[in-house]
C-alpha cells in the first residue's frame, strides 16, 4: 500500500473515533433523540443543498464560498449523526474502504489503465 494512503488510514483510525464520539456526545446532550431514518433524510437534504450550490457555480452564477462551506459543514455533521444513529463506526468503515480503493487503484496502475 502506498505510504500516503497508509498515513491517511492511520490518521483516520487515530482521530476518527474521537471526532465521532464528540458528535455523539454533543447530539445526545443538546438535542432530542432522532431515528436513523431522520438523520439519513437530513444527510440527503444537506447533500442536496450542497449540490444545488455547486450546480449554480457550474452555471456561472455568483455564489458565496461561505455558503458552500456552510453546506459542507452541514453534510459532515449530518453524516456523523447518521452513522451514530446507525451504530456505524466511520473510522472503521472509511479505513476499510480506503484500503479497498487503494488495492483497486494499484491494480489499475499496474495494468496501465485509468481508475
Please identify every stretch of the chain with a pLDDT value under 50, giving residue numbers as ranges.
Answer: none
**What is the per-residue pLDDT for 3?**
87
**Domain 3-111, CATH homologous superfamily name and number:** MazG-like (1.10.287.1080)
All three cell numbers of 106, joined, read: 494499484
* Domain residue spans of the chain: 3-111
Distance CA 112, CA 92 (A): 30
Amino acid at each position: 500500500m502506498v505510504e500516503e494512503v497508509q498515513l491517511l488510514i492511520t490518521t483516520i483510525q487515530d482521530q476518527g473515533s474521537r471526532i465521532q464520539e464528540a458528535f455523539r456526545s454533543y447530539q445526545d446532550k443538546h438535542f432530542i433523540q432522532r431515528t436513523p431514518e431522520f438523520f439519513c433524510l437530513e444527510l440527503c437534504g444537506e447533500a442536496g443543498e450542497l449540490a444545488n450550490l455547486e450546480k449554480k457555480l457550474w452555471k456561472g452564477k455568483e455564489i458565496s464560498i461561505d455558503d458552500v462551506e456552510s453546506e459542507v459543514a452541514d453534510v459532515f455533521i449530518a453524516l456523523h449523526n447518521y452513522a451514530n444513529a446507525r451504530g456505524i463506526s466511520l473510522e472503521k468503515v472509511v479505513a476499510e474502504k480506503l484500503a479497498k480503493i487503494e488495492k483497486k487503484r494499484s491494480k489499475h496502475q499496474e495494468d496501465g489503465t485509468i481508475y
